Structure 1
Amino acid sequence: MHNEHGIDLHTHSNASDGTESPADVVRAAAASGLHTIALTDHDTVSGWDAASRAALECDITLLPGIEVSSKFGGASVHVLAYLPDPSHPALNESMARVRYDRIHRAERIVAAIGADYELTWADVQAVSEPGATIGRPHIADALISLGIVGDRGEAFAGILHHRSKYYVPHESPSPADVVSQIVAAGGVPVLAHGGSRGAALLTEAPFAALVEAGLAGVEVGHRENDAAAQQTLLGYAERYDLIVTGSSDYHGDGKPNRLGEHTTAPDQLARIIEQAAGTAPVNLR
């Protein structure tokens, strides 16, 4: 599917847990042959302005977005918000709570790891962009910089694994609440990589509740969705007339995901833009 449609609607910059600046993500997308991308950093809009300027410079269309954290049945579930109003109070308050919890959670994880390894909070700050939403990927980068692990994959397979003794759960709103907040902010909510975690959400009643709350679409093309999850998601999309997207979930060097490895069809992008009422795409062609 590489660059089949030139539309990649899920990318991350160093405003959250990517390794490149928002502008560099946009430049990389343009260089890879994409003509439309969404910047969807975790629980923050802080990369929007720089990405928007770069989109105009590179003559690429940008959908400002967010990947909003939620929790269902003890599992982390993410909802992509496309074109929401960045000043909407309820959505902002919810994201601020998640960011606050994530930072303090990260501090507790670092303290636990620090009892067994030479790791301090200062080490984590040293590898994080000022103002970035600090999470486990930044702890992984600190572990790499100290030579404790070789890469993020090794960190998440061991020290940072969710079954590790160092793991600290985090608090997040429910997926249905997040979907409602995105809709209230004029955004278009799309369930991110539904097959990767929170599989219980893909059963009949919980999924119907998401649709009732205003879910607009599902991300089907994603390397973390296996064939069975894709079929389940496509079945729901057909039943509820949902938007279907595909995207890379690009993190720069933070993950192996490559820009354009999955893409979204133009008619599905058009549906997102048509439904959005919060903010406008940048440099829409």
Structure 2
Amino acid sequence: MRIDLHTHSTASDGTVRPAQLVRDAVEVGLDVIGLTDHDTTAGWRPAIEALPAGLTLVPGAELSCFWTPSNSWPISLHLLAYLFDPTEPEFARERALVRASRLTRAEEMVGMLVADGAPITWPGVLAIADGAPVGRPHIAQALVAAGVVRDVPDAFRSEWLGARYHVPKRDIEVFDALRLVRGAGGVTVLAHPKASKRGRVIPDHVLAELTDAGLTGVEVDHPDHEESERVALAGLAAELGLLETGSSDFHGTNKTVRLGENLTRQSVYEELVSRASGASPVTSREQWPIAHR
């Protein structure tokens, strides 16, 4: 089986609509796809309603988290949550707060850019988002369209959205996130934890503490992991008893990665499913609303 457990649609910061994403997954030969938009389940229903025969959808979300060292600024983390009950009240409320914070943050960043002379507007950014939750990629696309930067990655450099015009958003403390997902019957995989090209990464002892707190797996094969980082992470996962996943982190045209660029072993996927109790993988559109286990 060809299994890609980390993808994004227009429900968050991807450029492909959920219905098209599942069709594209079949086109590239995937058997299983995980839909993991940032802090939202909004893409689940349209993806399920368009689900082609022969494709299994793993409903999930990528949670915006942080861990704070004792002597430094918080480090950003992303936690992949799979097969949770989307209606569980406490977890649903926390995701809603994170999404509301993202919108306020985006509007503030646009205001800062406009104040410094960037020829973009908030209505223009909303038009680019086209109904999707507004995030930094939409602001980046506006900057590209205005000729301010060369491309979307250029917009994320430190002189633009990476630092100078960066506004912090509300994230979930990572141990709280583990508790919330577990309370909703889901399983968790830490996304790209060794991707040093993205910025600071957590020390190894934190991964051990997360494992003790209920973390199920770790994303080893990821486009932003160098080979040395994959090797080191695989060794840690084996030592800690964590499941090892691989995925594309597909975002459409916002990134150059392809669907299925990295894959998860079938045995790992089956183990993830066996440990979840909040929802089941979806194999047909008749399974909406998500069948609780």
- Work out whether the TM-score is over 0.5: yes
Distance 1:194 1:255 in 2: 19
* SS in structure 1 of the partner of residue 202 of structure 2: helix
Shift of 1:53: 2.0
Distance 1:16 1:102 in 2: 11
RMSD over aligned Cα, in angstroms? 1.6
Q: Look up the equivalent residue of 2:268 and give its one-letter code.
A: Q
Shift of 1:191: 0.2
Q: Does 1:77 align with 2:72?
A: no
Shift of 1:240: 2.1
Distance 2:11 2:202 in 1: 28
Shift of 1:254: 1.1
Q: Does 1:192 align with 2:191?
A: yes
1:243 aligns to what?
243
Q: Look up the equivalent residue of 1:186 and give its one-letter code.
A: G
Q: Identical aligned pairs, as a percentage?
A: 42
Shift of 1:243: 1.1
2:258 aligns to what?
258
Distance 1:236 1:97 in 2: 33
1:32 aligns to what?
28
In the superposition, relative to structure 1, how do residues 160 and 276 fare at CA in structure 2: closer, same or farther (>3 Å)? farther
1:59 aligns to what?
54
Deviations 1:31-51 (A, max 9, x none): 001111000000000000111
Deviations 1:21-74 (A, max 9, x none): 00111111100011110000000000001111222x342011011001101242
2:174 aligns to what?
175
- What count of residue pairs does the alignment treat as equivalent? 276
Counterpart contact for 1:124–1:142, Cα < 8 Å = yes
Counterpart contact for 2:75–2:202, Cα < 8 Å = no
Distance 1:23 1:85 in 2: 21
Q: Look up the equivalent residue of 1:166 and give its one-letter code.
A: Y
* SS in structure 1 of the partner of residue 167 of structure 2: coil
Q: Look up the equivalent residue of 2:112 and give its one-letter code.
A: A
Shift of 1:144: 2.1
Q: Does 1:268 align with 2:268?
A: yes
Deviations 1:102-151 (A, max 9, x none): 11111111100011211221111010031x22211111112122232232
In the superposition, relative to structure 1, how do residues 71 and 229 fare at CA in structure 2: closer, same or farther (>3 Å)? same
Distance 1:66 1:87 in 2: 13
Shift of 1:76: 1.9
Q: Look up the equivalent residue of 1:121 and give its one-letter code.
A: W
Q: Higher mean Cα deviation, 141-150 or 10-19?
A: 141-150
Distance 1:276 1:248 in 2: 22
Shift of 1:199: 4.7
* SS in structure 1 of the partner of residue 50 of structure 2: helix
Counterpart contact for 2:193–2:201, Cα < 8 Å = no
Gaps of 5+ in 2: 69-73, 285-293
Shift of 1:227: 2.5
1:278 aligns to what?
278
Q: Does 1:41 align with 2:41?
A: no
Distance 1:59 1:192 in 2: 27
2:119 aligns to what?
118
* SS in structure 2 of the partner of residue 228 of structure 1: helix
Shift of 1:215: 0.3
Q: Look up the equivalent residue of 1:213 and give its one-letter code.
A: A
Superposed, 1:92-171 pairs within 5 Å as: 92-115=92-115, 116-130=117-131, 132-157=132-157, 159-163=159-163, 165-171=164-170
Distance 1:89 1:218 in 2: 26
Distance 2:278 2:161 in 1: 37
* SS in structure 2 of the partner of residue 42 of structure 1: coil
Report the TM-score, using the length of structure 1 for normalisation.
0.92
Distance 2:201 2:224 in 1: 16
Gaps of 5+ in 1: none
In the superposition, relative to structure 1, how do residues 54 and 232 fare at CA in structure 2: closer, same or farther (>3 Å)? same
Distance 1:227 1:139 in 2: 32
In the superposition, relative to structure 1, how do residues 198 and 77 fare at CA in structure 2: closer, same or farther (>3 Å)? farther
